[in-house]
Structure 1
Amino acid sequence: MTRLLMVLGLVAINPLAWGWYGGFKANAEWQAQGVKEARERNYPVVCGAYFDTSLWERWTTPRWWEASWCEDYKERL
């Protein structure tokens, strides 16, 4: 048990571990920002077609499975 606590303590104060965690978190935030910008840029085309399809097509067509974010842009169209 003490060895486990010692290893966990060393990992917790290790600057390499914190650097890895910081890089991972920064990358996730950077990617989320890129997705948001891409959606802002493309919502007129993608969401226009998304709302023109039937509910059945949205559920059964792989193209529309990940386009549910268009619901957030419905008021803008």
Structure 2
Amino acid sequence: MAATQPHRAKAKESPWSVKRTQDAAALVERFGPDAVEWLDLFLADYVFAGEPLDQVMTEARRLGELPARPVRSWFNDD
């Protein structure tokens, strides 16, 4: 029977995850939470959910201690 390791090593963050967090922190630091919120809501009309820029803005909202972006129920990407 194989032995199990009670303390698994924490998975190393991907380079993309690190870069995304750095970019998001820079946005919050440079522009502040109010501008991050405005920019995120503006870009949400032009950027698909889950794309790299969307992920950066979502992280910036989190770092800026902003609430999650409101869900647009009317959105249709056809």
TM-score, length-scaled by structure 1: 0.34
Q: Larger radius of gyration, structure 1 or 2?
A: 1
Higher helix share: 1
